Structure 1
Amino acid sequence: MRVFIRIFPLLATLTASFCVQAESLSARLADPLATEAMLPLRSASALAARVGERPCASELPASPLTPLDAVDLALCNHPQTREVWASARLQAAQVGVARSGWLPSLDGRAGVTRNFTDDSQLTQRNAALSLSWLLFDSGQRSANIDNARQLLDAALATRDATVQSLFLAALQTYYRAQATQAAVQAASDAERSARESLAAAELRYQVGIATPADRLQAQTAASQARLNTQRAEGDARNALGALANALGFPAQTPLQLAALPAVAAANEFQQDVDALIAAAQVRRPDLKAAEAQLRAADASIAVARAQGRPTLSLAAGPNWQRFEGETTRTGSIGLTLNVPIFTGFENTYRVRSAEAQLEARAAQRDRLRNQVALDVWQAYQSLTTATQTVQTSRDLLASAEQSERVALGRYKAGVGTVLDLLSAQSALASARVQRIQAELDWNIYRATLAQAMGALDYSLLQAAEGRP
């Protein structure tokens, strides 16, 4: 019993070690050519990793939802991120397929044959191993690997472009939800002002200073303000449902959004637009994908040309045969030179097809390069306009608030008309909406410019929130 107690920990250690080694061996056998090592981290994890925080979220945070949280959830839960990751893994596996062409192949064969006659039966058994190895192929395998690597680069760049598009879409949905909540507050403020005007009109009507028309106009304005509030609340509920859906949750999921910091609307982005376009043409992942596809098409031409050239192969293997109780062992080894002489012009047209594909990829790359320049130009001009309108809308709101206070004071004092008051309140409500729209445009166009330049990542949001 004591011996068993002493041996048991050793057996447990050996068993655990064996399990670990078995898992390691299983992993190596699953990917013997180490193609998974060519892949970076998963899309969402790579972008979402932040100091001291969970890299990929799947549940709503306990605190109010910030833009950072919204992007985390959208990237982690959106099916398209899994789709582009699977596409990248597929292309990495194709690199493994191309690499396998450099290795020999070994086949085994065994058989039993039984022959019957009228007075006897004979049994023959045979087995063989066959080793085949392509020694020379005029560069076809190298070109295949180059083609597969370039397609992998294209898949990874496409993955980055898709993630940035989802990043921008999540931000746009979040900012719109924030704007609709701000619109509810603005509509509520306008309704409160309209009710205050109605109360003043009622008071003046009761003391005989105001006419019934003044009272009815104030009542109409108050009802319209209430209607606007109800519509704004409905828009806000729809926007929150759209945001929940974008984050991978049911539309009815309750969301509490964090208050956004005040829009600085600084001109820090003001740079030479030519320099911005040049930087975008270096950084844009979709343009990188087009460049990689162009290089892959060039490698396909080399593959097509090599397919019409000579190859040299090695074949070897032993054979065993047992018949009538006797075993015969034989073996063979040989070299085979294959020289294509005439293939019905198949190789000619295969090369022409690959060259046409290269021209098409080059045209697609050039078209995308022009689109990148247009995207940056439009986003830059939109952000410039939004920056200007943010300050203008604030000035407009300040003057509208002062005008409404003066008009209300004059009306209560009996020296102003109800039309002047209602006009001032309508202008104030419009100014509030324009300020909300200006700040929404600034937030969205700032992210749009970053995405147009291929630079949309968490640093944009972390800087806005003052986080590391």
Structure 2
Amino acid sequence: MRFLPAFFLLTAAAMPAWAGGVDDPFGTDAMAPLKVSLKLAARVGEAPCATAMPVTALTPLDAVDLALCNHPQTREVWAAARAQAALVGVARAGWLPSLDGSASATRFQYDDGGAYNRRAAALTLSWLLVDFGRRSANVDNAQQLLAAAAASQDAMVQTLFLAALQGYYAALAAQAAVVSTSEAERSARESYQAADARYGVGVATPADRLQAQTAFSQATLNRIRAEGEARNALGALANALGFAAHQTVVLAELPVLSGELAFQKEIDALIAEAQARRPDLRAAEAQLKAAEASVDIARTQGRPSISLAAGPTWQNTAGVVTQGGSIGLTLNVPIFAGFDTTYRVRSAAAQVDVRAAQRDRIRNQVALDVWRAYQSLTTATQSLKTTADLVASAEQSERVALGRYKAGVGTVLDLLSAQSALASARLQRIQAQLDWNVYRATLAQAMGALDYTLLQPVAEGRQ
């Protein structure tokens, strides 16, 4: 039959050259973003995803790696991005023909006992040739949704990055508070011993001794509470990194922050940079473009289409074999669909307005996030120097008050007040260091620039 060779030549011409194999002929795996743990700058191509607590002390970099590798949300957003990449392949498949095969076998039985068999088979090639933009709009919509999914993954990465750093710095601050309260307990013990010694030789009143003992007991209670809070902070950090709360975690010491860390940048420039880089804003922009493509899709549903159909047929009826084939063009012209297309277009256009409003809301939120983070970091930077001076003066005041009390020229109230002020100053210093580290990371996230470069050592005079 002459029709068969021509048919198969047409089918072969319609099929693309699949270098990537039939499992992914459109290369959608390459369209999908990298795994979450590899997306951030300076880490692509390095060690594989971390799943175990390091044998050395845990650094901020280790904490971020573990959080990104082990957190379920990282797997969730990556899977969602890969699913959307596959939908790009679905949209592109609309440009290719489809080939269907059919076969049937029927036995006919007559009342007089006669019977005969009929067997038939056919191949049908269907190819949509013209649809006035529907397939192009489908591909555009799918690609924009993929861009939105990739940007949403970036936003989730930065959220988890910041959460890991906040948990790490909070645990480190809790441990520093234990050291501070232990030092306050030691000073209170020394004051109590001095008051007890003075009381023993009759130069101090019982009230002095009781006040010093009360301060000592309070300092001990503060240290016990600080140790409990430190254990809770370590448990919360272990949980955030994907481990059981009782997992042993040893934190690395961070460099001591000086009070000379400068941070002065033009806030307008920061906001403009954030609006260009923030992944959630990029996701909103992509969602808006996808909604605009959906309007085109809705409009094309009311437009004509031209399709090609061709294929050979074979039939055997009671031993009589017939072969044939067909080829033809079909013009489909929608005339009236009960205003279905009209309202689909109206709905899609309304969704464009929704996405535009969401994009504008996020843009305003970006500016607010940058403003707040900038002001918080500026305050924390100034607080570092102030708390350093505060601790230095409080330490000197405590030493003077203790010396005066031992020499018999100072009161126990002066000594206890100086020790209380020193303990408060040390805790404020710890809080200032925690705030500076956290707000520095928060500003980077607000600008869409939170990555591993943030964890490089900070030089004096540089933010």
TM norm structure 1: 0.92
The CA deviation at 1:256 is: 0.3
Alignment partner of 1:269 is 2:274? no
Q: Is the 8 A contact 2:42 2:453 kept in 1?
A: no
* Counterpart residue number, 1:111: 104
- Of residues 454, 461, 466, the one that matches 2:448 is 454
> What amino acid is the match of 2:25?
P
Question: What is the distance in 1 between the residues matched to 2:33 and 2:262?
Answer: 32
Partner of 2:182: 188
2:9 match: none
Q: 2:378 aligns with which of 359, 362, 384?
A: 384
Residue 41 (structure 1) aligned with residue 31 (structure 2):
no
SS in 1 for 2:334: coil
Q: Structure 1 residues 185-194 or 335-344, which shifts more?
A: 335-344
- Kept after mapping to 1: 8 A contact 2:258/2:385: no
Contact residue 49 and residue 55 of structure 1 kept, 8 A: no
CA drift at 1:409? 0.3
Cα contact 2:395–2:422 (8 A) shared by 1: yes
For 1:340-351, list aligned pairs within 5 A. 340-351=334-345
Kindly provide the amino acid, as one letter, of the partner of residue 371 in structure 1: Q
Report the residue type matching 2:130 in the other structure.
F
How many pairs align?
442
Matched letter for residue 384 of structure 1: T
Q: Which has the higher helix share?
A: 1
1:126 and 2:139 are equivalent in the alignment: no
2:387 to 393, 408, 430: 393
Partner of 2:208: 214
User: Which 10-residue stretch deviates more, 235-244 or 261-270?
Assistant: 261-270
1:245 aligns with 2:224: no
Corresponding residue number in structure 2 for 1:363 = 357
For residue 325 of structure 2, give the secondary structure of its aligned residue in structure 1: strand
Alignment partner, residue 406 of structure 2: 412
304, 315, 325: which one pairs with 1:321?
A: 315
Matched residue, 2:15: none
Structure 1: runs of 5+ lacking an equivalent: 1-24
Instruction: Give the CA deviation at 1:49.
Output: 5.5
> Contact (CA 8 Å) 1:48, 1:55: kept in 2 or not?
no
| Alpha-carbon distance between aligned partners in 1 of 2:102 and 2:58, rounded to the nearest angstrom | 64
Out of 24, 46, 53, the position equivalent to 1:60 is: 53
Q: 1:236 to 1:159 in 2, by over 3 A?
A: same
Partner of 1:281: 275
Letter in 2 for 1:119: G
| 1:302-345 C-alpha deviation (Å, 9 max, x unpaired) | 11111111100001111100112221101111100011111111
The counterpart of 1:429, out of the listed 396, 410, 423, is: 423
The CA distance in 1 between the partners of 2:182 and 2:438, in whole Å, is 25
Whether the 8 Å contact between 2:171 and 2:237 is mirrored in structure 1 is yes
Describe the superposition over 1:256-299 as per-residue Cα deviations: whole angstroms up to 9, x where unpaired. Answer: 00001112455543111000000000000000000000111111
2:328 aligned with 1:334: yes
What is the SS of the residue equivalent to 1:258? coil
Query: Partners in 2 of 1:264 and 1:153 — Cα distance?
Result: 42
Identity of aligned residues (%): 71
Equivalent in the alignment of 1:77: 70
- Equivalent-residue separation in structure 1 for 2:155 and 2:39 (angstroms): 13
Q: 2:145 aligns with which of 148, 151, 155?
A: 151
Tell me which amino acid in the other structure corresponds to 1:368. I
1:49/1:82 CA distance change after superposition, 3 Å: farther
Deviation digits for residues 344-369 of structure 1, max 9, x if unmatched? 11111111111111011111100100
> Which residues of structure 2 form unaligned runs of 5+?
1-17
Amino acid at match of 1:146: D
Deviates more, 1:194-203 or 1:256-265: 256-265
Alpha-carbon contact 1:261-1:465 (below 8 Å) kept: no
Decide which moves more: 282-291 or 268-277: 268-277
User: Shift in Å at residue 390 of structure 1?
Assistant: 0.9
1:410 and 1:271 map into 2 onto residues whose CA distance is 48
TM-score normalised per structure 2: 0.93
